[in-house]
Amino acid sequence: MLNRKLFFQRPAERIVLNRTAVLRGKSYEYRLIQSSAARTLRFKISLDHGLEVTVPKRFNPSHLDEIVHEHEAWILRQLDKLESRKKLRDENSLAHGATIAVLGARFTVKI
């Protein structure tokens, strides 16, 4: 039997704010997402948005800077990994004239 609750739930309300944190003397932009569906604080690193911090809607943002600084080492490691992934993505992007290998054969991209 299907759970009716899943079909009738309201979508989570989200408020997205851009913030800045200074970590080891360097300024970093990040997105603060206040969500009615969130139950705990969560850090997320993505290629599209960089650092995202999701907090419950009732969370007091005055504590956020302290929490970000507590996780500074992890955040900086993940941002370094993200930069290397971005470089790989840019190097491996398909542009006109690029050569790719598919099933052992080499093809030239024509756009």
17-74 per-position pLDDT tens digit: 899 998 999 999 999 999 988 999 999 998 888 899 999 988 988 889 999 999 999 9
φ/ψ (deg, to 5) at 46 = -135, 155
Q: 28, 20 in Cβ contact below 8 A? A: yes
> What confidence score (pLDDT) does residue 62 get?
87
Distance CA 97, CA 111 (A): 8
> What confidence score (pLDDT) does residue 83 get?
86
What are the angstrom distances between the C-alpha of 41 and each of 1, 7, 64, 66, 99?
33, 26, 10, 13, 44
